[in-house]
Structure 1
Amino acid sequence: MKKVNLILLFTLLLGCTAYLAYSSDNANVEVLPALSAPKDLPDFTLNDIHGKANSIHQLAQNKPTLFIYFNSTCHLCQEELGKISERIDEFKDYNLIFTTVQPKEEMIGFVEELGIKDKSFVHFLLDADMNVASYYQIRSVPSIFCYNARKELIAEYVGITKIDLLLENLGRGK
């Protein structure tokens, strides 16, 4: 019995040692997540909060674009958009497109509270038919997509994302 226990103990120790050696060798390797969103900014036409139809491509122009799918009742979205609005002037060289499936009446107060809707580079669009949500296969909000000036996806995030990281990605997209 002692011999069996010793063999098991030795095997366990050997396995643990091998695992620790493997994990320490790979500790400095940065694994980047694969981008799963469509690689190009889609060109849907959606109504803004004033009822005017807008092409996403026309709003993006030829500038890096931050495309955010959100819901005004989501506390994570409230926090993320609140942080963006606090630093809105740092985004002036880019285009921000905020899109939601909510009816205008449900989100207009939230948009007003942010105090950024009148900025020329900020756009709020309503995805009433859920075409954009289906295209992106939105499963959680906020869903954030960074596109370069050629409208190619360079980064995507779900949930609260550091503003500095968003600005860094947009800056790389010029």
Structure 2
Amino acid sequence: MKKRLLIIIGLVVIGLLSWMGYSSVQKLDQKNKSEAIVQNLNSLTNNLGLKVLNNNQPTIFMYFNSDCHFCQWEMKEIGENIKKFQNYQLLLASFEPKNEALDFLLQYKLAQYYVEVDPDSLTNTISGGVPQTFIYENGLLQKHFKGEVKIEAILEVLE
């Protein structure tokens, strides 16, 4: 009886370890795919279903959520300094419902920069939390900021 119990426990442990290993490999594979997609503005926008873009213009793509206090601070700063961004294509995307995202952006006079994307595509394409900022020149990723970033740091990359 004890021998059978030990065999069963051993098989359960081996099964759990195998499942955990498989899950880890899947997550790593998804992260690598995500990192490859965001390297190029065309692949990012195609993956998200965005069509109307000027790939020759320097682009700032920001992934945000209205409940995120870092995102709130960043949008406030961008809204107050929007003239500094006039030579750049600014794209703001969120996984939350369109009306919530637009209501949030209206507070900072940034609603015109909102791009609607499928929430599942967005969260599958960009791994990690919000905020994230991607800066592209000539369609290629120049800098990726994870978390809060000052507008001076964004502009420094583009100048």
TM-score, structure 1 length as denominator? Answer: 0.63
Question: Which stretches of structure 1, 4 residues or longer, exceed 3 Å deviation after superposition?
Answer: none
CA apart distance, 1:54: 4.4
The unaligned stretches of length 5 or more in structure 1 are: 1-35, 47-52
1:62 to 2:64 alignment: no
1:144 to 2:107 alignment: no
Match for residue 10 of structure 2?
none
The alignment partner of 1:43 has SS state of helix
- Rg (Cα) greater in structure: 1
CA apart distance, 1:44: 2.9
Greater helix share, structure number: 2
Q: Provide, for residues 113-171 of structure 1, a one-character-per-residue CA deviation record: whole Å limited to 9, x for no partner.
A: 111334xxxx212333421321222x1100111100x1100101111111111011122
Contact 1:127 1:133 (C-alpha < 8 Å) held by counterparts: no
The unaligned stretches of length 5 or more in structure 2 are: 1-34
Contact 1:64 1:146 (C-alpha < 8 Å) held by counterparts: yes
Q: Provide, for residues 40-80 of structure 1, a one-character-per-residue CA deviation record: whole Å limited to 9, x for no partner.
A: 1122376xxxxxx841xx32431110000000111110111
Residue 76 of structure 2 aligns with an amino acid whose one-letter code is: G
Aligned residues: 122
Matches within 5 A, 1:75-154: 75-118=69-112, 123-137=113-127, 139-148=128-137, 150-154=138-142
Q: In 2, Cα distance between the equivalents of 1:72 and 1:60?
A: 26
Match for residue 43 of structure 1?
45
Q: CA RMSD in A?
A: 2.0
Q: In 2, Cα distance between the equivalents of 1:98 and 1:60?
A: 15
Match for residue 148 of structure 2?
160
Q: In 2, Cα distance between the equivalents of 1:129 and 1:163?
A: 26
Residue 39 of structure 1 aligns with an amino acid whose one-letter code is: Q
Match for residue 72 of structure 1?
66
